[in-house]
Structure 1
Amino acid sequence: MIEMNKIVEAEEAISKIPDGATIAVSGFNCLIAPEYLLLKLYERYKETGHPKNIFLEVNPIPTAPNRILDKIATELHNDNDQDFLAGILVTYPGWSPTLQKMIQENRIEGYTWSIGTASWFVREVARGLPGVITRVGLGSFLDPREDGGYLNDLAKEKRRCKVDVVKIGGREYLLYQAPKPDVAFIRGTTADEIGNITTEKEGSFTEILNLAQAIKAAPNKGVVIAQVERIAKYPSLYPQDVKVPGPLVDYVVVAPPEYHKQSANIQYDPRISGEIIPPMDPRLVPKLPLNTRKVVARRVLLEMVNLVKREGRPILVNLGIGIPSDVAGIAIEEGIQDYVFTTVEAGAFGGIALGGADFGASIGPFAIISQPDQFANYEGGIIDVASLGFLQVDEKGNVNPSLLPGRLPGPGGFSVIAYGSPRLLFAGHFTAGKSEIKAENGKLEIIKDGDIKKFVKNVYKIVYNAALGLEKGQEVLYITERAVFRLTKEGLVLEGYAPGIDVDRDILAKMEFKPKVNSKLKEMDERLFKEDTMGLKDEL
């Protein structure tokens, strides 16, 4: 008799995975992460020695510090003879310090792409194409003429994943290629007996459908295993709620609650899945104290308000991690959240984006779409503006958001967003290191400055290529607590400075290069440096 019921114990599903398999795993940090399947996969290896030499493709990474994959990496790092994990393609290894160490120590192959590129990769594989063709990454560390996405020497030797330069119509593009996965671990909330998967209690559904399609694409059809919280009778699920149709799923495993958290620190909050939309009350967001971080975020919001005025409509934006993530809270504080529609890489529109290891989730989004579709909004320039953080900026305007010797956080979504957004507001502190800087009474006071220069002659790694941005016609500002620069064909131009500081002493002397200075150099708005709200609602 043909068995229709796909609900099985984890051990039975995991037993179908062969040695040397390439396993694609869903998960934006702990959102939609099938942690129970990862745990059972590793437990089977410890018990039987199989499957071994697996290769993981994750986007960005299905873990957080001290969660399952990070704990597995810690055990593997302590085992010099481990043959469980051969390598990984990961877009943001930052949430697993021990996984980073394994890559840095050349213990496993390490490759990285940007989140959007990796999201589109599984769609292209599902279509039978060799990989993703895009201009994202040209002239950056992802370009094969630079680092090519290789994170260590073992990856350069094995070349399991690779990036090549191709020409189409006389223009350069990058072709990103990786192995077609043999197995997919995906996650949803509910499954019925034939394997239909819904995601009603999840904060995102990323690319779970495309992962299943990539596995089932010809010529080598693999195995799709879904982790869920609960089982429903077939055919009781509402068809429009089904994110992955049953014929694309081979096995369904019910996970214990501790391995099915909504995000790293939240078991379940209906506001994150959109089941309840709370009023955007300022009390939902703790009011930020007046400090340099708030000054920068306010200045970013001012630029967005100016764009709303010019366009005569609400705008669609992306806010990166770090200081840009504070902009949404300040918009609520100012009562203008209905004029600035935020988006998050994992798929949410609107609401309040969470930070830290819960990044990817939003409280009270008004829409949640797939991750590849969200990145089409970024790469295609559908959004109006993006604000992203920076670690270093050089005299040409190139940006390094996070890469330094000994650090391996990966590009995350930065590369795609920075490439595609028509307007960019890079936001960060002017210097790094221990400092004491006060914002009060409409002025900035530098008592002790940071001793690390962030505006440098050459960035350590180029992640945003300014020349490509200029070619595309992007409008680019670099916003700090004391200075605002604009990108031009002649390099950076200083356009604004904080009241209370000396331009030569506090800005120009703290840079490794001399920017041009606008002949109409202006003081930054004193409202940025005061306790009261800026009154932006009245302006709009």
Structure 2
Amino acid sequence: MSNATLKKRTGPVPVLTAEEAVRLIPDGATVAFSGAGGGIVEATAVIEALADRYHKEQQPSGLTYLHTTGLGDRADRGMSPIAIAGLCAKAIGGHWGQSPRMSELAETNQIEAYCFPQGVITQLFRSTAAGHPGILSHVGLGSFVDPRQQGGKLNEHTTKELVRLMEIDGKEWLFYPSIKPDVAIIRGTTADTDGYITMEDEPTFLDVLSIAQATKNSGGIVIVQVQRMVQARSQHPKTIKIPGFLVDAVVVVPEQMQTYQTESNRYMSGDLLAVQGGIEPLQLTERKIIARRALMEAFPGAVANLGVGISDGVGYVAAEEGVGEALTFTVELGPIGGTPAKGIIFGATISPRAVLDQPYQFDFYDGGGLDVSFLSFAEMDQAGNVNVHKFNGKIMGVGGFIDIAQNSKKVVFSGTFTTGGLSVQVNDGKVDIAKEGRFRKIVPALADISFNGIEAAQNGKEVIFITERAVFQLTARGLMLCEIAPGIDLQRDILDLLAFEPLISPELKLMDARLFQEEPMGLKQEWNAATV
């Protein structure tokens, strides 16, 4: 079936195999993918068929990949099967680390590679659909995406400047140009025979509608993988996420998983409400200590974001403390409320209160709607700059980090003090560093900046840095050590591991003793008393 035939259809939507669908992709096409880590809304069968076709025929070739967030399992799934030089010539992504073989292509200069903020890319799809030339945004100023730094370029092979610095009425903005997809590879749950798509089993909607609209209005082809087909008009119109006229071909995969880990978790799809207390508490490790201390920076009624990594434990601690309903957790992929999942299926949520399309979630974030965000750091320096996108030569990307950190009223960064073999034990309410990590994460100055601490301090943003042994606060003069854990030696376990002299608060105190006990901290009682 030709592309022209697909575009002119007036009858039922063509139902193709994954192998047939990828033959619609021409050489040199820009291909937009839906999906997030852990297989969320990922068209896995179509991606694998694309890889198989290239291995057999060396076609299509010279593709540009466009994806909002990171697909994969941090190993061989997601975008990794199609991380093939020759098949891919260029990639623009919000996050790379979930598909490490894509990162390797960029690290070895085999493709052009860009990393833009997740919110920017998802909004660009919507802008492209509307025929706009691009978007003006403050998101990314002062970071590696700023053209005065790297302009989002990830390697030496990438030379073209896509991001432009502009000034309007004396204020700086970044201009991100629209990118027109030739092909969309996206996923839903059910298609009717006219191509109308619902997403009832999916943990979130992501930006599938915006991708489909952008592709169709650019003259491209929209391929949707689903689990099942039903008769036309048999589904409630308010459940339709993608209208049939946007869909050129459907690939039915009856064995389609909800995530890599779940066939159909009804709590994640929002159909069932999890019993309070039914979520297993975290073990008392450095991760739980950090998550507990981070949660103390929240307050009743707060609207918060939870980031991936060590910070994803905050939602579980909140549930354990019985305060999960006292504040509203949001995840950049769209879920609101509930308990955000952790690990590779981060982005899914247990029993969410609502689920938005991803672009609208970022509209709220970018406008400053978040009261507090809980994010993880890979490296930070004495000025409060943070790097999460590229370290030790490895490309990870930023996801929604820049959008969230730059615009949240308060930012809580979490991470262990060192990494690489770090072993921490908690005994009798004290922290014991049984084995120090090989790599130091707090350095004098960063070469790659994902969050600009200097600009944040100038703007008066409240920024806290939490580790298992110390808490720092960002000041106009840089990092200030405010708290240390019981059992930690200030000189041996902190100062000797820093290649600079941090500011030390004249009111330096011990971290709360409740952080290091097995039983809950009693935050619910505290918060209830605070709201009386």
Does the alignment reach a TM-score above 0.5?
yes
In structure 2, the CA distance between the partners of 1:19 and 1:525, relative to structure 1 (3 Å rule), is same
* 5+ long unaligned stretches in structure 1: 77-81, 309-313
* Paired position in structure 1 for 2:98: 95
Tell me which amino acid in the other structure corresponds to 2:40: L
* Residue 170 of structure 1: how far off its partner (Å): 1.2
* 5+ long unaligned stretches in structure 2: 1-7, 528-532
Q: Which whole-Å CA distance do the structure 1 matches of 2:276 and 2:171 have between them?
A: 46
Task: After TM superposition, list the pairs within 5 Å mapping 1:408-447 onto structure 2.
Answer: 408-447=395-434
Task: After TM superposition, list the pairs within 5 Å mapping 1:442-481 onto structure 2.
Answer: 442-481=429-468
Tell me which amino acid in the other structure corresponds to 1:179: I
Task: After TM superposition, list the pairs within 5 Å mapping 1:288-299 onto structure 2.
Answer: 288-299=282-293
Q: Which whole-Å CA distance do the structure 1 matches of 2:265 and 2:139 have between them?
A: 35
Q: Which whole-Å CA distance do the structure 2 matches of 1:38 and 1:208 have between them?
A: 16
Deviates more, 1:145-154 or 1:111-120: 145-154
SS of the residue corresponding to residue 378 of structure 1 reads helix
* Residue 441 of structure 1: how far off its partner (Å): 2.7
Tell me which amino acid in the other structure corresponds to 2:67: V
Q: Which whole-Å CA distance do the structure 2 matches of 1:316 and 1:338 have between them?
A: 11
* Residue 72 of structure 1: how far off its partner (Å): 3.4
Q: Which whole-Å CA distance do the structure 1 matches of 2:371 and 2:222 have between them?
A: 37
SS of the residue corresponding to residue 166 of structure 1 reads strand
Query: Normalising by the residue count of structure 2, what TM-score does the alignment of the two structures yield?
Result: 0.92
RMSD, matched Cα: 2.0
Aligned residues: 517
* Residue 119 of structure 1: how far off its partner (Å): 0.7
* Paired position in structure 2 for 1:23: 31
* Residue 407 of structure 1: how far off its partner (Å): 0.6
* Residue 351 of structure 1: how far off its partner (Å): 2.5
Match of residue 317, structure 2, among 330, 334, 356: 330
Task: After TM superposition, list the pairs within 5 Å mapping 1:3-22 onto structure 2.
Answer: 3-10=10-17, 11-22=19-30
Match of residue 391, structure 2, among 397, 404, 410: 404
Tell me which amino acid in the other structure corresponds to 2:119: G
> Contact (CA 8 Å) 2:132, 2:178: kept in 1 or not?
no
Tell me which amino acid in the other structure corresponds to 1:9: L
> Contact (CA 8 Å) 1:393, 1:399: kept in 2 or not?
yes
* Residue 431 of structure 1: how far off its partner (Å): 2.4
CA shift digits 1:256-277 (9 cap, x unpaired): 41xx221122222111111222
CA shift digits 1:232-289 (9 cap, x unpaired): 21211111111111122222221241xx2211222221111112222232x422x222
Q: Which whole-Å CA distance do the structure 1 matches of 2:42 and 2:475 have between them?
A: 42
* Paired position in structure 1 for 2:297: 303
* Residue 46 of structure 1: how far off its partner (Å): 4.5
In structure 2, the CA distance between the partners of 1:41 and 1:392, relative to structure 1 (3 Å rule), is closer
Tell me which amino acid in the other structure corresponds to 2:81: K
Q: Which whole-Å CA distance do the structure 2 matches of 1:512 and 1:402 have between them?
A: 22
SS of the residue corresponding to residue 454 of structure 2 reads helix
> Contact (CA 8 Å) 1:485, 1:496: kept in 2 or not?
yes
* Paired position in structure 1 for 2:224: 226
Task: After TM superposition, list the pairs within 5 Å mapping 1:54-73 onto structure 2.
Answer: 54-64=63-73, 65-67=75-77, 69-73=79-83
* Paired position in structure 1 for 2:369: 382
> Contact (CA 8 Å) 2:12, 2:193: kept in 1 or not?
yes
Q: Which whole-Å CA distance do the structure 1 matches of 2:439 and 2:396 have between them?
A: 20
Tell me which amino acid in the other structure corresponds to 1:8: V
SS of the residue corresponding to residue 284 of structure 1 reads coil
SS of the residue corresponding to residue 507 of structure 1 reads helix
Tell me which amino acid in the other structure corresponds to 2:279: L
SS of the residue corresponding to residue 224 of structure 2 reads strand
> Contact (CA 8 Å) 2:374, 2:413: kept in 1 or not?
yes
Structure 1 vs Structure 2: percent identity of aligned residues? 40
Q: Which whole-Å CA distance do the structure 2 matches of 1:280 and 1:442 have between them?
A: 28
Q: Which whole-Å CA distance do the structure 1 matches of 2:124 and 2:316 have between them?
A: 34
SS of the residue corresponding to residue 419 of structure 1 reads helix
Are 1:534 and 2:528 an aligned pair?
no
Query: Normalising by the residue count of structure 1, what TM-score does the alignment of the two structures yield?
Result: 0.91
Q: Which whole-Å CA distance do the structure 2 matches of 1:68 and 1:537 have between them?
A: 40
> Contact (CA 8 Å) 1:440, 1:531: kept in 2 or not?
no
> Contact (CA 8 Å) 1:390, 1:402: kept in 2 or not?
no
